[in-house]
């Protein structure tokens, strides 16, 4: 097919304005800078191509695919769908408060069933209608809902963008009615989502996330003290969600005992109706037990949750359980059980590649961690992690560090010490930045074993717990660590 015969797509109304908003939110000075930027493994694209599309109203599918990838969409169809929703001139119904409430119940039902793609579409459609009505309250609500769904399926750029829009809308609405409790609660929810995405999931800035969650908890307490009765139960549950996230940050920072104490407190506070948050709190409890070295107790909880997830068809929860369970089997040297667990996880992941991106990432990491049967296959898994994420030192930082640690162990097994040392150094720098004790200790040992000795922070050494403390003691006593151990049992 010659250049002149390429398939083209009509651009939706208002696409240029939406593109301009995206560039502004990402701090690009102009279109040319955006087109040239490749820092997050996105392709370059000619600005002339985009200007031509603005003039003609059409763009080739090849160029649309490049543009969609640069804007972090799975497909060009997803990009066109969002732009069409955002500037649709079709108002299916009058989106008054009654209709919005009905849609919200439908959104929650879809989310409970794991149908997040449908949740996103419903949220974006409702948002576009709220924008046409210039209803700031509804615009904030539906932007937040879209962000929640995007966050759950692992599309973090979109989640961050919509949380940003929700925050702008709710602050603008609060200027008009600063004492509106519903808007103040919406502000609290949006800030919760922003911390999860921008601080925790994207940058893995665990100390910063924990600090912001502490302040958010204080805000929730202050709001609860003066809120009307109809909001108090929601604020109470939101407080528990914040504490659950604090427990997660403590665990990632290697504070396993404090994390375990806090998550058990959370489990006593959740109302019985919050069954899915309770499942994830139990998952967090098992994680802390596993990293403290209580493998059998952790395995029992994972097995209970696996059965619940299977019976209730909760694919996201099931995937989260399976990769963690494979880590327990790894620690217990139960290789057949681990292999079976990973095979089931791979089958589940293949059915949910778009819906649950983190499931795919951790399936690949788990298959490349510890003692592997085939180094070439394991390296292939790590290449997929890098491209699928995409993972970089500044985006999905923790997953980037885990992949580097796994790669270092594989190279150490092949006696390619210089290359292994380089990977351990990449991992070490990220883990130190995140204050992740689990990874810092393992990457430091890897550096020592491959000729890249560096100082281990004294403060960190004194604060080690559980499996981290035992591993360091073993290395200091024996001067060696068996191959595969450093990348096993991902936190």
- 177 part of a folded domain: no
- 255 part of a folded domain: no
- 256 part of a folded domain: no
The answer on pLDDT for 167 being more than 70 is yes
For residue range 452-490, what is the model confidence (pLDDT) as tens digits? 878 887 888 889 999 999 999 999 999 999 999 999 999
The answer on pLDDT for 42 being more than 80 is no
The answer on pLDDT for 29 being more than 80 is no
- 26 part of a folded domain: yes
Give the least confident one: 41-45, 275-279, 456-460: 41-45
- Looking at residue 451, its pLDDT comes to 92
The answer on pLDDT for 90 being more than 50 is no
pLDDT band at 89 (very low <50, low <70, confident <90, very high): very low
Q: Is the peptide bond before 390 cis (omega within 30 degrees of 0)?
A: yes
Give the least confident one: 55-69, 93-107, 282-296, 378-392: 93-107
Distance CA 287, CA 310 (A): 20
The answer on pLDDT for 86 being more than 60 is no
The answer on pLDDT for 147 being more than 90 is yes
Count the Cβ atoms, other than its own, within 10 Å of residue 15.
23
Helices (H), 315-434: 315-331, 335-351, 357-368, 375-388, 397-413, 417-434
H-helix or E-strand containing 58?
Answer: strand 58-60
For residue range 171-209, what is the model confidence (pLDDT) as tens digits? 999 999 999 999 999 999 999 999 999 999 999 999 999
Specify which residues 8 forms β-bridges with.
60
Distance CA 360, CA 349 (A): 6
- Looking at residue 9, its pLDDT comes to 76
Q: What is the pTM of this model?
A: 0.81
- Looking at residue 44, its pLDDT comes to 82
- Looking at residue 176, its pLDDT comes to 92
What is the count of structural domains for the chain?
2
**DSSP class of 392:** B
Distance CA 233, CA 241 (A): 13
- Looking at residue 450, its pLDDT comes to 95
- Domain limits at 417? 375-491
- Looking at residue 138, its pLDDT comes to 93
C-alpha of 171 from chain center: 25
- Looking at residue 466, its pLDDT comes to 96
What average pLDDT does the structure give for the chain?
89
- 463 part of a folded domain: yes
Give the least confident one: 65-74, 200-209, 427-436: 65-74
Both tokens of 457, joined, read 């922070």
Both tokens of 373, joined, read 């049967």
Q: Select from 58, 86, 114 the last residue of a domain.
A: 86
Q: Select from 86, 103, 125 the last residue of a domain.
A: 86
Q: Select from 68, 86, 104 the last residue of a domain.
A: 86
User: What does the pLDDT average to over 44-73?
Assistant: 84
- Looking at residue 93, its pLDDT comes to 43
Both tokens of 237, joined, read 């549950």
């Amino acid at each position: 097919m010659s250049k002149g015969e390429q398939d083209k797509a009509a651009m939706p109304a208002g696409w240029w304005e939406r593109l301009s908003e995206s560039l502004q939110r990402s701090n690009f000075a102009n279109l040319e800078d955006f087109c040239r930027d490749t820092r997050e493994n996105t392709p370059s694209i000619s600005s002339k191509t985009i200007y031509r599309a603005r003039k003609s109203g059409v763009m080739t599918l090849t160029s649309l695919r490049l543009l969609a990838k640069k804007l972090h969409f799975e497909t060009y169809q997803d990009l066109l769908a969002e732009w069409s929703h955002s500037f649709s001139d079709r108002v299916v119904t009058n989106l008054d408060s009654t209709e919005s409430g009905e849609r919200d119940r439908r959104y929650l039902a879809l989310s409970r069933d794991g149908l997040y793609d449908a949740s996103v579409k419903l949220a974006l459609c409702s948002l576009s209608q709220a924008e046409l009505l210039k209803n700031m309250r509804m615009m904030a609500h539906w932007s937040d809902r879209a962000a929640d769904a995007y966050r759950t399926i692992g599309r973090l750029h979109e989640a961050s963008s919509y949380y940003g829009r929700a925050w702008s809308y709710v602050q603008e609405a609060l200027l008009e009615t600063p004492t509106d409790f519903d808007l103040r609660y919406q502000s609290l929810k949006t800030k919760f989502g922003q911390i999860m995405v921008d601080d925790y999931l994207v940058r893995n800035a665990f100390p910063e996330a924990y600090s912001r969650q502490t302040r958010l908890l204080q805000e929730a307490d202050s709001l609860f003290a003066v809120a009307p009765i109809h909001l108090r139960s929601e604020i109470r549950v939101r407080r528990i969600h914040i504490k659950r996230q604090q427990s997660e940050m403590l665990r990632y920072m290697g504070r396993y005992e404090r994390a375990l104490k806090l998550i058990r407190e959370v489990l006593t506070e959740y109302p019985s109706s919050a069954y899915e948050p309770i499942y994830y709190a139990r998952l967090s409890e098992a994680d802390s037990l596993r990293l403290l070295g209580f493998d059998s107790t952790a395995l029992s909880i994972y097995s209970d949750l696996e059965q619940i997830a299977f019976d209730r068809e909760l694919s996201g929860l099931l995937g989260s359980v399976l990769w963690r369970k494979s880590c327990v089997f790894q620690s217990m040297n139960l290789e057949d059980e681990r292999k079976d667990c990973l095979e089931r996880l791979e089958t589940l992941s293949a059915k949910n590649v778009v819906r649950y991106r983190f499931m795919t990432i951790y399936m690949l990491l788990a298959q490349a961690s510890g003692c592997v049967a085939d180094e070439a296959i394991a390296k292939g898994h790590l290449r997929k992690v890098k491209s699928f994420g995409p993972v970089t030192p500044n985006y999905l930082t923790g997953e980037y560090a885990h992949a580097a640690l796994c790669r270092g162990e594989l190279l150490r097994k092949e006696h390619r010490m210089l290359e292994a040392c380089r990977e351990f150094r990449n991992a070490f720098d990220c883990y130190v930045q995140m204050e992740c004790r689990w990874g810092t200790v393992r990457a430091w040992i890897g550096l020592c074993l491959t000729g890249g000795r560096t100082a281990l922070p004294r403060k960190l050494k004194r604060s080690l717990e559980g499996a981290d403390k035992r591993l360091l003691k073993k290395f200091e006593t024996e001067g060696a660590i068996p191959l595969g151990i450093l990348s096993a049992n991902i936190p």
